[in-house]
């Protein structure tokens, strides 16, 4: 089978990519660029409206085609396109369109880009809410951060979200996982076949210029899309607990918080007298990250790996985070900054990194090493293309081996198809008598 220039790829996005607003979109763009390097013919479709920071895909040579949910217009579109590969961005797109893809393009390789395991993030969010309800202690979250995989499984297994998400993983031929912790969780606890999962973390090019020096930087920085619940929770924890502890030790300290889609509830926290600045969206995240001395990422729940912490490493900016923030990001290597389990330790480490040039510089050097070890675009891009080509060659055998996936596709095809057809019929304008 030849996989030359003529390979056609359809990407079905949950949203139109906004790489300057979220790491999930950044990862999608890295995958698209990897495909473009192969000379593949790419169409990007989404049922979502374009956001205000949408990337210009047409400038890269990618066709943009809006699509509709619960509409047979998609069937006509995909039959004419006849893609060799269909990539679903987030499992909800596989739920909506997977059965239509199978029906009209049964031989297309189906890939799911998970971005993170949403059912894990959701379960951790529930656990945090319960913890905050049951205790006034805003300081110590050691217990939250020290769950074994088996405990995470117990937390997720009863949820509808986990059942939907993991069914989608089974129905696809290949699932791109950004986090090795999530791969282990799926294989060890949910018994997913290892061959359905491919580790594809954020893929970056090393910085072209040397990072700015300690003396050439000022202030603390935190960054993250406000629509992402873990980021908003982190902002609240900083405002109520962490920042007062840091300011007690550094009365002149300033914290700049950047994020796309800043809601009024965030703007209301802006307080220059306390050195707490809500800065809205950063036109260039790497520029503001390079100017900061220390990046703060106090995440109390979440999943996947964190784009903001990769950005910090790229800019040579040491970061202070939690075990959730650093999860699956550094393997056996030391963290380029500090990982703290409670508020007092977090504040202590933040102050030390901000004030100690020698410790700061050694963290900066660790970041460069870590990026080379784990996140090189050339390495992960080549591994992804190799895996896709291998799976296209052996697709019939792989599907045969994945009986659970075939069974789920059989039943889902029927139930989702009838539901979608019912919705479409309901949405049709009724013929009325004159």
* Selection from 46, 47, 45, 17 nearest residue 31 by Cα: 17
Ordered DSSP codes for 143-173 = TGGG--HHHHHHHHHT-HHHHHHHHHHHHSS
CA distance 130 to 120: 16
% of the chain surpassing 90 pLDDT: 86
pLDDT value, residue 433 = 47
| Structural domains of the chain ordered from first start | 8-119+146-203+378-427 (3.40.50.2000), 214-375 (3.40.50.2000)
Q: Where in 183-262 does DSSP place strands (E)?
A: 197-199, 220-223, 255-258
Distances (CA, A) of 211 to 38, 234, 314: 32, 27, 8
Q: Looking at the chain, how many residues does it have?
A: 434
* pTM for this entry: 0.94
Q: Where in 220-286 does DSSP place strands (E)?
A: 220-223, 255-258, 276-280
pLDDT value, residue 421 = 77
**330: phi then psi, degrees, rounded to nearest 5:** -130, 5
Q: What is the pLDDT of residues 369-396, one digit of tens each?
A: 999 999 999 999 999 999 999 999 999 9
pLDDT value, residue 206 = 83
* Selection from 423, 428, 422, 412 nearest residue 101 by Cα: 412
pLDDT value, residue 377 = 97
Report the b/e string of 276-300 with b at 16+ CB within 10 A. bbbbebbeebeebbbbbbbbbbbbb
The per-residue pLDDT string of the chain (434 residues; one tens digit each, 9 = 90 and over) reads 444 458 999 999 999 999 988 889 999 999 999 999 999 999 999 999 998 899 999 999 999 999 999 999 999 999 999 999 999 999 999 999 999 999 999 999 999 999 999 999 999 999 999 999 998 888 889 988 988 999 999 999 999 999 999 999 999 999 999 999 999 999 999 999 999 999 999 999 988 899 999 999 999 999 999 999 999 999 999 999 999 999 999 999 999 999 998 999 999 999 999 999 999 889 899 999 999 999 999 999 999 999 999 999 999 999 999 999 999 999 999 999 999 999 999 999 999 999 999 999 999 999 999 999 999 999 999 999 999 999 999 999 999 999 999 999 888 766 667 777 788 888 887 655 44
Bridge pairing between strands 109-113 and 85-89: parallel
CA distance 140 to 293: 26
Q: Fill in the DSSP letter of residue 382.
A: H
pLDDT value, residue 427 = 83
Q: What's the alpha-carbon Rg for the chain, to the nearest Å?
A: 23
pLDDT value, residue 5 = 54
Q: What is the pLDDT of residues 123-181, one digit of tens each?
A: 999 999 999 999 888 888 998 898 899 999 999 999 999 999 999 999 999 999 999 99
């Amino acid at each position: 089978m030849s996989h030359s220039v003529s390979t056609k790829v359809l990407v079905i996005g949950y949203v139109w990519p906004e790489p300057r607003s979220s790491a999930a979109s950044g990862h999608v763009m890295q995958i698209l660029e990897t495909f473009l390097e192969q000379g593949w013919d790419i169409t990007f479709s989404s049922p979502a409206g374009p956001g205000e920071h949408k990337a210009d895909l047409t400038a890269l040579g990618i066709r943009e085609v809006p699509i509709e949910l619960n509409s047979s217009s998609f069937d006509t579109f995909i039959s004419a396109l006849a893609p060799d590969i269909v990539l679903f961005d987030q499992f909800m797109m596989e739920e909506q369109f997977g059965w239509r893809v199978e029906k009209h393009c049964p031989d297309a390789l189906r890939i799911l880009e998970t971005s993170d395991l949403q059912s894990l993030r959701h379960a951790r969010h529930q656990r945090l809410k319960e913890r905050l309800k049951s205790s006034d202690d805003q300081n110590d979250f050691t217990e939250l951060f020290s769950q074994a995989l088996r405990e995470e499984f117990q937390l997720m297994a009863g949820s509808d979200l986990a059942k939907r998400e993991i069914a989608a993983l089974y129905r696809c031929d290949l699932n791109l996982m950004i986090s090795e912790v999530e791969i282990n969780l799926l294989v060890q606890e949910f018994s997913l076949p290892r061959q359905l999962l491919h580790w594809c973390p954020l893929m970056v090019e090393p910085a072209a210029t040397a990072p700015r020096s300690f003396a050439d930087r000022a202030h603390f920085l935190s960054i993250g899309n406000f629509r992402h619940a873990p980021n908003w929770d982190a902002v609240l924890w900083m405002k109520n607990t962490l920042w007062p502890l840091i300011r007690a030790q550094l009365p002149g300290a300033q914290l700049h918080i950047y994020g796309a889609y800043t809601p009024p509830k965030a703007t209301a926290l802006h307080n220059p007298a306390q050195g707490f600045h809500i800065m809205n969206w950063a036109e260039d995240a790497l520029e503001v990250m390079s100017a900061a001395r220390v990046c703060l990422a106090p995440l109390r729940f979440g999943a996947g790996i964190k784009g903001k912490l990769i950005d910090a490493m790229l800019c040579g900016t040491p970061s202070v985070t939690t075990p959730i923030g650093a999860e699956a990001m550094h393997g056996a290597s030391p963290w380029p900054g500090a990982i703290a389990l409670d508020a007092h330790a977090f504040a202590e480490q933040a102050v030390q990194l901000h004030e100690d040039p020698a410790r700061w510089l050694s963290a900066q050097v660790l970041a460069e090493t870590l990026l080379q070890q784990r996140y090189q675009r050339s390495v992960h891009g080549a591994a992804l293309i190799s895996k896709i080509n291998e799976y296209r060659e052996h697709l019939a055998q792989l599907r045969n081996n994945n009986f659970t996936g075939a069974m789920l596709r059989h039943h889902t095809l029927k139930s989702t198809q009838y539901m979608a057809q019912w919705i479409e019929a309901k949405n049709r304008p009724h013929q009325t008598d004159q």
